[in-house]
Structure 1
């Protein structure tokens, strides 16, 4: 596979560390992996064979997540966000991944929703749509408003294939921190905890107190309390690791008056140091919790709780319940309370490590591979079902009746060339927009076999009121106006389109037509109608194209391919005499749609399939071609 993981860490480096561990696991399994990072570079994050794409970095100041700081140290402006989005989408376009993981979004990073949504939407529009997966830690920040929950759940339901929860429900199920409804519950895939540090050798003897508090300045209060406690009991052997995002001047000030090697920068061998320590003092971020579960080191936890943060407190309470830790609340932190907790931990029995699953990296890779295989199998199953249905129809001497309509033609375009090449002489009804038709369309269609033309409204303009479904010929205008426009469309079609290809078939834009207008179409010179639903009109042949391949209400890319294949298979299995209409829109196709059509048509080159010529489809009324228009002055349409 090709895998893209998008992450932006704003405070510490925990989000990036976990995302990098996942990226390394994908790469180690032989998958080409790109990690797109939108936060500051973190020196200790390992990449190995993972390719890093660095966006213009963002961070926050203090705990204000509403104000994002750009690379220049000022509030990020629109150009920063535009540059980030452009690079993100360019990376997606170049990689063409089979799986896209968005770290934390849509459950968090709402301030970056524009770029994350752009990534997800663009990914869904790619050929052979990649898997879209949310990647979240074990515990989320509980939302303060129900609307945030509803928005996240709606985005997951509409756009995502699964939610990867990097935790173990035995320790912390997601609903301990986030409302999980039945729809979301069905999409959760627990991976176990992502173990960043690897195995460590059990020490012969534990000694000293190891203090760490992540990469950012959020742990400064803990560092200050630990340094004061070290001055009270230097005999305990303190080693205090300060994150790389803490300024050098602050580090130097913290170190004054202490023995050498007491205060130092964070180190890559942190887990080995923890394994050899008698007590670990830290906050309770995700990676620290994993380190504690691996090493079994007695711990004193001071969970970070500023700015409505509850994640670390919840996790600390779970670890304390396992006997792995003591908690000093942030609002009770002092040198004395910290030292008392350390001394208590030193006197307590050694905890037993283990319990929750810690193979989250490898299990994540396996889950994503399984999801991808499942998708391929599902499409393959529906394709096999369609083949079997067509075979049975042929054996029974039945025909499977299909026809094809394509909308919105206006001119000769590369997209039209591609459509006609795929049609390869199969009969197709092309609905052209009379008021926008160019002469190049005639020249191009004169060279094509199997093409007939229909009247696609007048100008394809929406006249529906705001908030209502789009329609050019809907029930929103007087019938007199509708008839006049339909008559103008009739006249322009005769003037601008080849007479030998033009059928008197009206195709209303957006497939919507006012019932009163439909009743008037025979009097206006039309012999056929192709729309969506509606009553039978005497004197008007009717054939609708119900199987639209585009997901207009969602991605505006390919509808679920399995659904399309299943619909054709069901039509073949039912053995109905009715004709199933395939609907395309060549100017709106992305690569995913084009690829699907290219794969579908060979499946339908089967002895059981009968492609209907639109001339036959709309019956004997088509024999005389497009009749001349009437004059509205001859008889005014009835009101209503």
Structure 2
């Protein structure tokens, strides 16, 4: 979401033009050149609009891709053969070594330092390129250390190859939450939402910006080169060799007047190229890929190709009848998914890679040529313009968040002693989420009050907490059951006879004291922070000595109880969970510092996503840096 300019931000003080932030892009293509072509198109669009752009490429040089208008840095290149993505090869075909990897990192970091960017864009990572994670992470860490705010965005195509393991998606979200400000999806959510190819959580969906498709429109409208050709293309890698061979065979079978032209990518070895040229009959011309490919395509009778991102956009823009053979080796699913989506729009026929033969290809080509050509509206190709808007908004947003952190730091430093405490609700068992919560508290040396649901509490939870000396246990109602009538806010401690609720609370307190011993404090935390005021009056008679609700909880009849409420909750309960907008949270925290002490922070470890964990980690890190701030134990508060 765009943020209004803040005159206190460093970028405004320095006189930098905030409408044209400097952009740093890191991309590594491993097979074809589609990833690089897409990022170069974005870089040219940014540069044409007064943005200073540095693009760092880690794949093999691609001479046909325009690099005018921006700074281009070539790293020691890597590539893959076939679908063996784990094996990265140097230019000479040998596996890349540690020295070359370090040289790539050094050159990337030097380019970052020289470009002094406002926005860093990583192409594909962290959704892919795991084998290059070290250099991406070094870049992200360096960007975070810059003296000025730097926004970080991930750039991905419309369809990703689905992760082989569910843990891969979780790992990607952890990295996104820790380092990134958003994700640019270069596609149309109505055509292909990211969830069609990637397990997108609700939290991830919140940080996605669909830009539309990126097309290379810098040269203006395409002027077709009229021909009657069947034009065969396969991107920049040798992965298209089976398609080329099938096309040569299909050309010999068809009794059609159309000549065939096969454009072979520059990533195909010279020997393979010569073999194709030798095999081709009189109806087939074999030549290297040409820079005027879009014009050739627009004037062709039919296109035969794979289903890569850029190819499908070229097909849609040209409006030419098409047959696509999606690349599917090694369980690759991205091109198949895209082909099916575009086939549903009426933009292409499909021949699967598994059934690719000259005969099958010839049949599909014949059917497509004979099919009446229908006018089909291609999805939006405003990807460059919309990406630029998102990049500009991210730069402003980074400034605003930096200013909000600075304002919080000022407010903390300006006050005398600040007392805080941390309450986490809904614990019942030892879980991975609880382990993460306890690890967070331990790393920051912060005491924690754990509100445990008595009816569901397990002996395993007691065993887990036995080794956590900074954790106190509070009584979280009884069973966390809602007894409110329809139309009312959820509430367990209300809408029932007082004797019934009193008996439950006494039973719950007794059970937790039996499980946790003196670690369990006689302090009640009502579920949903709501409690019948009449029940508050009899809590001391039930054995309770303390009560904790929200800041706006009932205020009467508390004289006999020690009270410490919570005032800060980072979870966006009103909008289906997840983290509240970070800028809003920082402003809220700064405001509640003035609302009275001790300041209670509330969390719910069982529903935290990666973004909530990341925010809490950073907040605790900042808070612990202030000597005038003290986190208090619940045992100290509820005396």
Q: Does 1:212 find its partner at 2:226?
A: no
Q: Does 1:303 find its partner at 2:317?
A: no
- Compare 198-207 and 77-86 and name the one that shifted more: 198-207
Superimposed CA distance per residue, residues 527-561 of structure 1 (whole angstroms, 9 cap, x where no aligned partner)? xxxxxxxxxxxxxxxxxxxxxxxxxxxxxxxxx89
Q: State the alpha-carbon separation in 1 of the partners of residues 440 and 416 from structure 2.
A: 35
Aligned CA distance change for structure 1 residues 472 and 166 (closer, same or farther; 3 Å): closer
Q: Is the 8 A contact 2:29 2:35 kept in 1?
A: yes
Aligned partner (choices 317, 320, 328) of residue 351 of structure 2:
328
Q: Is the 8 A contact 1:25 1:362 kept in 2?
A: yes
Q: Show the counterpart of 1:86.
A: 106
Q: Is the 8 A contact 1:134 1:164 kept in 2?
A: yes
Superimposed CA distance per residue, residues 201-259 of structure 1 (whole angstroms, 9 cap, x where no aligned partner)? 57596622010001100000000011122233373111110000111222122112534
The 5-angstrom pairing of residues 143-222 of structure 1 reads 143-196=163-216, 199-201=220-222, 207-222=228-243
The 5-angstrom pairing of residues 573-612 of structure 1 reads 574=595
Q: Show the counterpart of 1:58.
A: 78
Q: State the alpha-carbon separation in 2 of the partners of residues 250 and 263 from structure 1.
A: 11
Q: CA deviation at 1:383?
A: 7.7
Superimposed CA distance per residue, residues 556-597 of structure 1 (whole angstroms, 9 cap, x where no aligned partner)? xxxx8986665444434x3x5999xxxxxxxxxxxxxxxxxx
Superimposed CA distance per residue, residues 386-440 of structure 1 (whole angstroms, 9 cap, x where no aligned partner)? 99x99xxxxxxxx973479xxxxxxxxxxxxxxxxxxxxxxxxxxxxxxxxxxxx
Q: State the alpha-carbon separation in 2 of the partners of residues 333 and 101 from structure 1.
A: 37
Q: CA deviation at 1:368?
A: 1.1
Aligned partner (choices 350, 356, 363) of residue 340 of structure 1:
363
Q: CA deviation at 1:318?
A: 0.9
Q: State the alpha-carbon separation in 2 of the partners of residues 402 and 566 from structure 1.
A: 19
Q: State the alpha-carbon separation in 2 of the partners of residues 20 and 148 from structure 1.
A: 28
Q: Show the counterpart of 1:350.
A: 373
Q: Show the counterpart of 1:543.
A: none
Q: State the alpha-carbon separation in 2 of the partners of residues 470 and 157 from structure 1.
A: 19
Aligned partner (choices 246, 263, 266) of residue 241 of structure 1:
263
Q: Show the counterpart of 1:12.
A: 32
Superimposed CA distance per residue, residues 510-530 of structure 1 (whole angstroms, 9 cap, x where no aligned partner)? xxxxxxxxxxxxxxxxxxxxx
The 5-angstrom pairing of residues 201-280 of structure 1 reads 201=222, 207-233=228-254, 235-256=257-278, 258-259=281-282, 262-280=285-303
Q: Show the counterpart of 2:531.
A: none
Q: CA deviation at 1:384?
A: 8.8
Aligned partner (choices 45, 49, 60) of residue 25 of structure 1:
45
Q: Is the 8 A contact 1:216 1:246 kept in 2?
A: yes
TM-score by length of 1: 0.62
Q: State the alpha-carbon separation in 1 of the partners of residues 186 and 333 from structure 2.
A: 18
Q: Is the 8 A contact 2:400 2:583 kept in 1?
A: no
Q: Does 1:401 find its partner at 2:415?
A: yes
Q: Is the 8 A contact 1:2 1:96 kept in 2?
A: yes
Superimposed CA distance per residue, residues 369-391 of structure 1 (whole angstroms, 9 cap, x where no aligned partner)? 1222234345567889999x99x
Q: State the alpha-carbon separation in 1 of the partners of residues 597 and 213 from structure 2.
A: 56
Q: Show the counterpart of 1:412.
A: none
Q: Is the 8 A contact 1:215 1:245 kept in 2?
A: yes
Q: CA deviation at 1:261?
A: 7.5
Unaligned runs of 5+ in 2: 1-20, 419-438, 448-465, 470-581, 600-625, 631-639
Aligned CA distance change for structure 1 residues 145 and 16 (closer, same or farther; 3 Å): same
Q: CA deviation at 1:351?
A: 3.0
Q: Is the 8 A contact 2:152 2:182 kept in 1?
A: yes
Aligned CA distance change for structure 1 residues 160 and 472 (closer, same or farther; 3 Å): closer
Q: Show the counterpart of 2:510.
A: none
Q: CA deviation at 1:613?
A: 12
Q: State the alpha-carbon separation in 2 of the partners of residues 120 and 153 from structure 1.
A: 15
Q: SS of 2:47's equivalent?
A: helix
Q: State the alpha-carbon separation in 1 of the partners of residues 260 and 162 from structure 2.
A: 35
Greater Rg, structure 1 or structure 2? Answer: 1
Q: Is the 8 A contact 2:76 2:104 kept in 1?
A: yes
Q: Show the counterpart of 2:394.
A: 371
Aligned residues: 437
Q: CA deviation at 1:301?
A: 0.6
Q: Is the 8 A contact 2:252 2:283 kept in 1?
A: no
Aligned partner (choices 94, 97, 101) of residue 121 of structure 2:
101
Q: Show the counterpart of 1:482.
A: none
Q: CA deviation at 1:337?
A: 1.1
Q: Is the 8 A contact 1:206 1:278 kept in 2?
A: yes
Q: State the alpha-carbon separation in 2 of the partners of residues 204 and 247 from structure 1.
A: 28
Q: SS of 1:358's equivalent?
A: coil
Q: Is the 8 A contact 2:224 2:296 kept in 1?
A: no
Q: State the alpha-carbon separation in 2 of the partners of residues 100 and 384 from structure 1.
A: 25
Unaligned runs of 5+ in 1: 391-398, 405-465, 479-559, 580-611, 619-640
Q: CA deviation at 1:128?
A: 2.4
Q: CA deviation at 1:161?
A: 0.5
Q: Is the 8 A contact 1:294 1:353 kept in 2?
A: no
Q: State the alpha-carbon separation in 1 of the partners of residues 283 and 128 from structure 2.
A: 41
Q: Show the counterpart of 1:533.
A: none
Superimposed CA distance per residue, residues 479-517 of structure 1 (whole angstroms, 9 cap, x where no aligned partner)? xxxxxxxxxxxxxxxxxxxxxxxxxxxxxxxxxxxxxxx
Q: State the alpha-carbon separation in 1 of the partners of residues 327 and 301 from structure 2.
A: 23
TM-score by length of 2: 0.62
Q: SS of 1:235's equivalent?
A: coil
Q: Show the counterpart of 2:161.
A: 141
Q: Is the 8 A contact 2:237 2:267 kept in 1?
A: yes
Q: State the alpha-carbon separation in 1 of the partners of residues 385 and 99 from structure 2.
A: 38
Q: State the alpha-carbon separation in 2 of the partners of residues 90 and 67 from structure 1.
A: 26
Q: CA deviation at 1:145?
A: 0.8
Q: Is the 8 A contact 2:248 2:284 kept in 1?
A: no
